[in-house]
Structure 1
């Protein structure tokens, strides 16, 4: 079985202020770049080719778009998020399209999708709320361009390895 996820990756330099915070509070900082998860980690025996075909079919006609990250939120599980403002509906549509066909069985029925970038992970929610108050206005509004989607392999040590990059400009 192979563990994968599908996400939008950002260049660390594009989101440097957010990455400074993430380097302190997110234990996955060294293992995966800043990202918005579209398909959460799943284990399967799907081949690389099957995943790529599904991605191309699901995203056919998608075009690059812009999004804005700004507001923070603490999730029930103690994660600290930076939320998407502008571009949220585009991200939600990508999420829904990708969880069709061969990936539909991996979608959780128990969660509502909240597009975000995780900047901290805490053992309890109260600690996350305290950090959220501490960082206050340190997170500037970030305007970013989304031009590709990444299929990543998640190795046993939780490090991310890019398996495939789907550029929106190349639907072939």
Structure 2
């Protein structure tokens, strides 16, 4: 079964973000806005084992605030809201999870971890630039 480890932040602008996602993100109907800590992976470990590992590894972390910067992109096809406040905490969580033997085999160094919420996919560079300009002007 394909799994991933995600943060579902409480968002004050959830309606705005969801309206953008409804228009631009094909995953909109399947998952609510999130920040990925561990990229999707296949594991035969049970849910209980995975949950126990996550709880143990992340126990030292306490609640924290998250804010976001202007819309940005990976310059290929994904449009996102990069994390501003909370970036270093999320990055540390990502790093310590991948230090676990349960998750370390799934580290994908070809995809640098940049904490963000994906809000869309646009496969045309010009359309991406245009959309970024419109979104960031609002």
What TM-score comes out, normalization by structure 1 length?
0.74
Q: Structure 2: where are the runs of 5+ without partners?
A: none
The corresponding residue for 1:61 is 60
Taking the aligned partners of 1:55 and 1:95, their CA distance within structure 2 comes to 11
Q: In the aligned structure 2, how far is the partner of 1:92 from the partner of 1:108?
A: 14
Which structure features the higher share of strand residues? 1
Cross-structure match for 1:105: 105
Aligned to 1:85: 84
Runs of 4+ residues over 3 Å off in structure 1: 10-14
1:37 paired to 2:29: no
CA distance, structure 2, for counterparts of residue 31 and residue 90 of structure 1: 27
* Paired residues of 1:12 and 1:33 also in contact (CA < 8 A): no
In the alignment, is the contact (CA less than 8 A) between 2:36 and 2:115 conserved in 1?
Answer: yes
| C-alpha deviation, 1:115, in angstroms | 0.5
Offset at residue 124 of structure 1 (A): 3.0
Q: Deviations over 1:135-168 (max 9, x none)?
A: 2233xxxxxxxxxxxxxxxxxxxxxxxxxxxxxx
1:47 corresponds to: 46
Which residue does 1:141 correspond to in 2? none
Q: 1:87 Cα shift?
A: 0.9
The number of residue pairs the alignment matches comes to 137
> TM-score scaled by structure 2?
0.91
8 Å CA contact retained: 2:69, 2:82: yes
Unaligned 5+ segments in structure 1 are 139-172
In the other structure, the counterpart of 1:72 is 71
Is the Cα contact below 8 Å between 2:67 and 2:84 reproduced in 1?
yes
1:164 matched residue in structure 2? none
Q: Report the counterpart of residue 121 of structure 2 in structure 1.
A: 121
